[in-house]
Structure 1
Amino acid sequence: MSERSNSAVTSCDSAWSVFLVFLRLGLTSFGGPIAHLGYFREALVTRRQWLSERSYAELVALCQLLPGPASSQVGIGLGLSRAGLAGAVAAWAGFTLPSAIILVLFAQGIWAWGGAVSGGLLHGLKIVAVAVVAQAVWGMARSLCTDGPRVTIALFAACAALVWPNAMGQIGVILCSAVAGLLLFKSTPPPAGEKLPFSVSRKTGLIALTLFFGLLLGLPLMAHFWPSQAMAMVNAFYSAGSLVFGGGHVVLPLLQSATVPNGWVANDTFLAGYGLAQAVPGPLFTFAAFLGASMSVQPSGWVGATVCILAIFTPSFLLVIGVLPFWQKLRRSARSQAALGGVNAGVVGLLLAALYHPVWTSAIAKPSDFAFALTALVALMFWKMPPWLVVLGCGLFGWLLTATQTSG
């Protein structure tokens, strides 16, 4: 009885620690999903060593193949590996709650907060995202692109991602990289110590996948035969979270078509919330909380926000929990390791392409922007400053620079 109690306390403490780590990330992770992966890598792979570089790259590759918000799914996977199902929930809650609460407060009438955010502050945050992603690309390339064939795969992956900058193009890059790995690399077993400490059984994974497809097919029928506003909202947001590849920006047209034409949310309100969602840290999928709180029909407010944000993120939980137990078996296969060698190099190429577009192209417009980003990169890589401090410093510097230019 005592051992069982101690085990429960340890699990609880571990999940609480995961929550606190991801709460800090949720408060400081600006720059969109690609930048989030950089923040995760720096905080959890480089500094805390929760996973190896190779394991992290494989988790990123898997989540990019799944529909839904890739950065949130990577966070769920990291929490799952650290503290089981409780850790997965803790990681998601910590990373999601800050931006969700801000957006709900904004929807409840705190419009002045949105107006107080200057363009200079936002520009500074976009520039620091360049440094974060550049650091991630450099670190992952050093670990995962160790020879000519891997560098070549990364190069072609980056070029392909720039030529076909859409979700299907990214999926195609991952698949082609896997085939290249099978053809080019010798099939060898994974090195010792690479196994992720997942506590989810295959039976649990099968149950999660069954629930995922059951809800995807069953919710539209339930909304038809037992019509209610709450059921319609759950169906719309669950479908959006289940069917969209490419992250938060891709889901916005689906959410608009589900909410605005039906009269749930006014179009001006929708666009105002979308604008603020670009300025807050954390996943863009928390825009669902804003929409739920802004509903002109019931449920609305905090209840509506809770319904919508749970509905849109539930597919991510079910997919990650459902697929990861089988992913572990695949990654222990010699041929799977050869394919994953190609996938890892392809992920580096995808991140390199993303560093250029949209991260670089949206942030670096003049020489001073480049100098700003270079300084942030040096602060992260060589001065070893904490990412949250670099983020706050760059945002403050951008605001001061804009204020000085305006007054001048």
Structure 2
Amino acid sequence: MEIKKVRYYIYLKDVLILSLTAFGGPQVFLAMVIETMVRRRRYLSEKELLELNALCQVLPGPTSTQTISAIGYRIGGPFLAYASLTVWVMPATLLMIGTAVLIDHLQENTPGSLNFAKFIQPMAIGYIIYAAQITIRKMIHTIEAAILMMIAAFIAFFYNSPFIFPAMLLIGGLITTHNYKKQPFIEEDPKIKIEWGNFLLWGGVLVGAALLGHYTGMLPVRLFENFYRNGSLIFGGGQVLVPYLYTEFVEFKQYLSSEEFLTGYAISQSIPGPTFSISSYIGALSMREWGLAGLLIGGFIAAAGIFLPGTFLIFFVVRFWDALKKYRPVRAALEGINAVSCGMLMAAAYLLFEPLENNLFNIAAIIGTYVLLQFSKIPSPLIVVIGVAAGIIYNWVMNSL
């Protein structure tokens, strides 16, 4: 028992180090996990890790967080999995809540305080375009998928309601199931043993939060339901989350301004850990009217809401995924889901640019950020830091004139 505790402690320390050093997106994250948890610590084999990561990629929710939770589950069961989840998300969550507190303080006490973000607001769109390129290259392989992507982008341009996105994902998956015969045949298991406990937990929390929020009208409960629902429906990682959150919290509910959203998103690209941590920033500012306590409560509620559903689902599916993935219609449906996700990511770039002033400066900042990400070796966080520094200098110069 004592040896197990030491192993758990070492594992959680490794997770904490990852949470503080994992800059650069999911590809860098996976490489760091392979180096730390496979080659150095030998918690599991590389094949096992890649299979877990592949499973997390086809489930809704944050892939990196689900992968960390799944590794913890393999090593020490549910307790270590939830401990892994907490250690992994906490640093980024605290940083983004701190960012929200700072932004709120500046706006309360210094008019025009977001002028320092003059550069990083359009830069955030450059990040979205770069992410869209990488995601499309990875997920779109057929003409049908490309057409689905364009249709999804068109619909998201003009009907950007938070309620239409889940329907689009479902329809996209159903459309491509007819291609199941093109999937390589794998001998199917006639009997799939499914343990429904974690699925019922996921669904129960989803329905319970929705009913409680509807009948009580309490903002913290409604915020938890909003983020829990988004965390249950997002395929494609943190970049795909952006249009959902922007539509719901900026355009639909108007809890944040477009400038605040873009500033928070750009800053979230410069910190380590899960990209879904942008949710903590949005949740905090959504409850700013409650003062500092509201900022803290909103941030932690958003983090719980966005990260828990993916964890429940990975615990549910990991037990029978090896059997389920042999069914060709299941694999075929993923093509449509991924295509719709790419379309919504394309729409996000337009939706985020629309509120900005259409001038040469903003267009140059967007293109410049994309070029740096695509063709230079400058680390992504450093690009954001340069943008913030340039904005501060520009603001100081203009105020001095």
Q: Could you list the per-position Cα deviations for residues 152-190 of structure 1 after superposition, in whole angstroms to 9, with x for gaps in the alignment?
A: 222222222223222233223212211221123536369
Give the structure 1 partner of residue 122 of structure 2.
127
- Using the TM superposition, give the Cα deviation of residue 381 of structure 1 relative to its aligned residue in structure 2, in angstroms: 1.8
Answer yes or no: is 1:182 the counterpart of 2:182: no
> Could you tell me whether the CA contact under 8 Å between 1:249 and 1:284 is conserved in 2?
no
Give the structure 1 partner of residue 373 of structure 2.
380
Give the structure 2 partner of residue 289 of structure 1.
284
| Cα 1:94–1:331 shift into 2, 3 Å | farther
- CA–CA distance in 1 between the matches of 2:213 and 2:353? 40
Give the structure 1 partner of residue 383 of structure 2.
390
Choose 143-152 or 364-373, whichever is displaced more. Answer: 364-373
Question: Match for 1:11: what amino acid?
Answer: Y
| Cα 1:48–1:401 shift into 2, 3 Å | farther
Answer yes or no: is 1:172 the counterpart of 2:157: no
- For structure 2, the residue ranges without an aligned partner over 5 or more in a row are 35-48, 73-80, 187-194, 234-243, 269-277
Answer yes or no: is 1:337 the counterpart of 2:321: no
- CA–CA distance in 2 between the matches of 1:177 and 1:21? 36
Question: Match for 1:147: what amino acid?
Answer: T
Q: How does 1:3-402 map to 2 (within 5 A)?
A: 3-21=3-21, 40-41=25-26, 43-44=28-29, 58-59=58-59, 62-63=60-61, 73=62, 76-81=65-70, 83=72, 84-104=81-101, 115=111, 117-119=113-115, 121-186=116-181, 188=183, 203-214=197-208, 216-217=210-211, 234-242=220-228, 246-247=244-245, 250-251=248-249, 279-280=263-264, 281-282=267-268, 283-290=278-285, 294-295=289-290, 301-302=292-293, 304-328=294-318, 329=321, 330-331=324-325, 333-355=327-349, 357-363=350-356, 365-400=358-393
- Using the TM superposition, give the Cα deviation of residue 363 of structure 1 relative to its aligned residue in structure 2, in angstroms: 4.7
* Matched position secondary structure for 1:279: helix
> Could you tell me whether the CA contact under 8 Å between 1:208 and 1:322 is conserved in 2?
yes
Give the structure 1 partner of residue 38 of structure 2.
none
Identity %: 14
* Matched position secondary structure for 1:384: coil
* Matched position secondary structure for 2:358: coil
Normalising by structure 2, we get a TM-score of: 0.68
| Cα 1:14–1:349 shift into 2, 3 Å | same
> Could you tell me whether the CA contact under 8 Å between 2:132 and 2:346 is conserved in 1?
yes
> Could you tell me whether the CA contact under 8 Å between 1:57 and 1:347 is conserved in 2?
no
How many residues were matched structurally? 343
| Cα 1:185–1:129 shift into 2, 3 Å | farther
Question: Match for 1:80: what amino acid?
Answer: S
Q: Could you list the per-position Cα deviations for residues 224-254 of structure 1 after superposition, in whole angstroms to 9, with x for gaps in the alignment?
A: 9xxxxxxx56545444545678326524799
- For structure 1, the residue ranges without an aligned partner over 5 or more in a row are 26-38, 64-72, 192-200, 225-231, 257-269
Give the structure 1 partner of residue 46 of structure 2.
none
Question: Match for 1:172: what amino acid?
Answer: A
* Matched position secondary structure for 1:385: coil
- Using the TM superposition, give the Cα deviation of residue 382 of structure 1 relative to its aligned residue in structure 2, in angstroms: 1.9
Normalising by structure 1, we get a TM-score of: 0.67
| Cα 1:236–1:214 shift into 2, 3 Å | closer
Question: Match for 1:336: what amino acid?
Answer: V
> Could you tell me whether the CA contact under 8 Å between 1:376 and 1:394 is conserved in 2?
no
- CA–CA distance in 2 between the matches of 1:137 and 1:97? 27
- Using the TM superposition, give the Cα deviation of residue 326 of structure 1 relative to its aligned residue in structure 2, in angstroms: 3.9
- Using the TM superposition, give the Cα deviation of residue 127 of structure 1 relative to its aligned residue in structure 2, in angstroms: 2.2
> Could you tell me whether the CA contact under 8 Å between 2:198 and 2:312 is conserved in 1?
yes
Question: Match for 2:338: what amino acid?
Answer: N
- CA–CA distance in 2 between the matches of 1:381 and 1:271? 30
Question: Match for 1:385: what amino acid?
Answer: I
Q: Could you list the per-position Cα deviations for residues 360-407 of structure 1 after superposition, in whole angstroms to 9, with x for gaps in the alignment?
A: 334572334333322322221221211111112233334545666777
> Could you tell me whether the CA contact under 8 Å between 1:278 and 1:284 is conserved in 2?
no
